[in-house]
Amino acid sequence: MLLIKMPRQKDLQKIIRALLANEISREEVLSWQRGVVSSCGWEIPIGKLQGYWYLYSLMYIAVRFPGGYFLRESDLEEYLRDLEVERGGEIQPGLGHLRSHEINLDELRWPIAVMTDHHDVMASLPSVRGTFEKRMDMVEHCHLRFDKANYLLVKQFDEQAGQVLLLGGNRDKPRAEQLLGLLGVTDYMLP
């Protein structure tokens, strides 16, 4: 049984590790997460870089999804890598993956392109699922670095299912088109 108390980053890491090692169940983690949120609300005493959104993402730990669960083992492993401050890596020459601790999370990002997700663009990227804003949407996203600019690909699992948004800190359309080409995306719309 997991104790309901104000969580710290190391508590969150310990719980995720135990879940990945099958020492605790998804249902136990969900019960713990609900207890913490019930007692703390939005005032969890850990910051964004210490797992704030990962803790809230655990509300989806037992949600069934095609192929298993919405939160996959790979998502939990990615949460740990980010919390352990591991750097993202090169996906292919000129295209890098970034983790939350490597970016300015408060940077304004504009919609650059909307694409129809015919071939699951996220499948070839080190994407991560969860919820990352107070609307609590179920999303899959990936932070990318291309041509010295940061981008964010976001796939939502709501009324926007089947679409992926490309967001960025600049509105350089030719650069965005190069990135989309590198990702193999051909069906997109630039605003």
Domain that holds residue 24: 9-83
Same domain, 96 and 169: yes
- Among 83, 101, 121, the domain boundary falls at 83
- Residue 45, pLDDT > 90, answer no
- Residue 40, pLDDT > 80, answer yes
Same domain, 54 and 126: no
Same domain, 76 and 111: no
How distant, in Å, are the alpha carbons of 52, 95, 151 from that of 182? 32, 8, 13
- Among 40, 55, 83, the domain boundary falls at 83
- Nearest CA-CA partner of 128 in 101, 86, 157, 99: 99
Q: Tokens in use for 41?
A: 């609300």
> Considering the domain boundaries, does residue 144 fall inside one?
yes
> Considering the domain boundaries, does residue 61 fall inside one?
yes
Same domain, 65 and 17: yes
Query: Domain total for the chain?
Result: 2
Same domain, 100 and 167: yes
Q: How far apart are CA 155 and CA 140, in angstroms?
A: 5
Percent residues over pLDDT 90 in the chain: 63
Same domain, 151 and 127: yes
Give 19-31 pLDDT, tens digit per residue: 999 999 999 999 9
Q: How would you label 13-49 residue by residue, b for 16+ Cβ within 10 Å and e otherwise? A: bebbeebeeeebeeebbbbbbeebbeeeeeebebeee
Give 134-154 pLDDT, tens digit per residue: 778 899 999 999 989 999 999
Give 53-100 pLDDT, tens digit per residue: 999 999 999 999 999 999 999 999 999 999 999 999 999 999 999 999
Banded pLDDT at 186 (limits 50, 70, 90): confident
Banded pLDDT at 1 (limits 50, 70, 90): low
Same domain, 99 and 184: yes
User: Does this model's pTM top 0.75?
Assistant: yes
